[in-house]
Amino acid sequence: MEALLQFAPMQSSVDEGFWHRLSSLKLNKLGIDDSPILICGFYAPCSHSQVSNHLTLLAESLASDSSETPLIPEPSRGNRNRSPIPGILYNTNTVESFHALDKHQLFNKEAAKIWDDILTGKAVEDCSLLSRFLVISFADLKNWTFNYWFAFPALMLHPPATVLNLKPASHWFTVPEAESLSAACNQWRSSKSTADVPFFLVTIDPNSRASVRLLKDWEACQSNAHKILFGFYDPCHLPNNPGWPLRNFLALISVRWNLNSVQFFCYRENRGFADMRLSLVGEALITVPQGWKDTVPSAVGWELNKGRKAPRCISLGQSMDPTRLAISAADLNLKLMRWRALPSLNLNALSSLKCLLLGAGTLGCQVARMLMAWGVRKITLVDNGRVAMSNPLRQSLYTLDDCLNGGKFKATAAVESLKRIFPAVEAEGIVMAIPMPGHPVNSQEQDSVLDDCKRLCDLIDAHDSVFLLTDTRESRWLPTLLCANTNKITITAALGFDSFLVMRHGAGPLSYAHNFNAEIADSSSADMPVNDANGKDRLGCYFCNDVVAPTDSTSNRTLDQQCTVTRPGLAPIASALAVELLIGILHHPEGIFAEGDVNNIVTGATEQPLGILPHQIRGSLSQFSQMTLIGYSSSSCTACSHTVVSAYRNQGMDFILQAINHPTYLEDLTGLTELMKSATLLSLDWDQEIDEEDCVEI
């Protein structure tokens, strides 16, 4: 006696994004309208020998609440991991209405749709209609709890189908047939036009060549010499039971093609490829009474909750808060990086990193957004300017409203914008000017300037990394000195009209155990690099290549010289590189002490996961070119040399006032004044020795 064919019930899974989309739809568009909503579920063939796949609802299972069209979801097609299945959702306004729904009537209505699709042939043209499903729900948006119940209507055959010889496909087919069928299934699953088509025909010719075809090709498959099997994507993993979709498939086969014996193929996968050992093949015997087509068959399919017929309830009070959901969504790309591309990515280090951005203009806006994209959550912006009418087009955190009534302070407006973009960011805006050499202060301003110096010092102490993104050269001097003194990670980005510089500053001079006396003795040589105890050259800062101290660069300038006139595409490029440079430092084993890499030449023992870590990146838009350079520290640097940092440590704020008020103070201190005199004398000696007769015209 043949055994009854028993099916593994379909199981459901609902992503949090679906509930968030439903909540938004209910709040913003539906209101009290409780009309049925068309939805789309997704399932795929079983891909693991121990775990069945579920029918899943995602955010895209619902139409967007911003759509002006009727609420019809439009899922993307051709995704091999998402076969779209049409469904309908009845979402009630109260929990009482949810429990009072006529579930029997709603269920039979969906079963009748499936039966009608079979009789009319719609299910042959669009086989996903065979797996229609129903969801009833109540969304408590005050407490973020959701009551719901799935039903997967399956038409019942009378008498029930029986089964012969259900066994793994690898035991059913010959080896050539199994290999050919595997190749045909893999090709079917790789084609965008068929990858998500869950029901199909399998034919095998006398030469053991298999092919997979659409259901509508049934007539073309008729041949006495061909084996024909009816295949479907089986979400079930059980070795002795086919999945739920086969039930309605058998009803279709019986009604449309009047077959009493059906060989079916339960298609399952392993690691994305056909697996004949997991897949099943069986023969079902179908006996239907006279007049069976005249009435809608009975159906079953309400999903069980822990073994009994009852709805489910889920509370998402913790995760459905928009801020929490934004955090989860923002980190998704970073978490996916860790799967394969970058397993060593340290998300905790990034989320706890404190970044100080000096300048909230074109560069500051771009850097702040890029930092958030990398998972940085603690950002402080310092700027004393206001948002001008010319800013919003180039500075991405500002809008026209920020320019009105004299303009908001940039630091304040930028923080407000960051929090609108990502509410979980811990951003702070500081309205403050940075004291600068070449901009002397009188006695009345001295206390205020000293307060700004102390405040800037405290800010740098409180942060892990500092970005120098200001408009002028002299405004970068004091932060560079303070960062060198505290050994902070420092990144500079500077723009020309069509060129840019992005660089990381080397570690501070007092962080190295090198021979300071040797440096002081050779302080007249501005080109001489400073070595650490291991003989490595210390990388330079923004000022190490200069032979003059920073001075006033803003006075007596025309309008185009006062503004940062630069090609619009330059700032996003430089900002992105600046942030990538920081991420590279954080993931390098030597951190701030890492040597500089040039192009594909890596100085470390092994290449780092994020690639090379350059010292300087200089680019030109006019040439569409970019190069990496190394510049070593100078013993005569006016910002990071041992002489300057030691003087600051010994004299404190008095040293800073001297540098601000006296134009040549830094040059005299570092030996640049003597160096320039020596160069002038050498130039004069050279000129006197030149004989006109010794010149050769080229």
As annotated, the active-site residues are 563
Are 658 and 664 spatial neighbours (Cβ–Cβ below 8 Å)?
A: no
Cα separations (Å) of 520 from 183, 484, 508, 654? 74, 17, 16, 22
Distance between CA 695 and CA 698 in Å, rounded?
9
- One DSSP character per residue, 384-453 reads --B--TTSTTTSTT--GGGGSTT--BHHHHHHHHHHHH-TT-EEEEE--PPP-TT----HHHHHHHHHHH
Matching residue, tokens 């009608």: 116
Whether omega for the bond prior to residue 435 falls within 30 degrees of 0, making it cis, is no
Token duo for residue 206: 């006398």
Distance between CA 641 and CA 464 in Å, rounded?
21
- One DSSP character per residue, 480-529 reads HHHHHHHT-EEEEEEE-SSEEEEEEPPPPGGGS---HHHHHHTTT-TTPP
Cα separations (Å) of 298 from 65, 104, 469? 36, 11, 72
CB count in 10 Å sphere of residue 222: 10
Sort strands 12-14 and 55-57 into parallel, antiparallel or unpaired.
parallel
Token duo for residue 324: 């929490």
Distance between CA 457 and CA 454 in Å, rounded?
5
The sign one gets for the Cα dihedral 568, 569, 571, 572 is: positive
Token duo for residue 90: 């009845």
Measured torsion, CA atoms of residues 58, 135, 157, 120, in degrees rounded to the nearest 10? -80
Distance between CA 197 and CA 129 in Å, rounded?
11
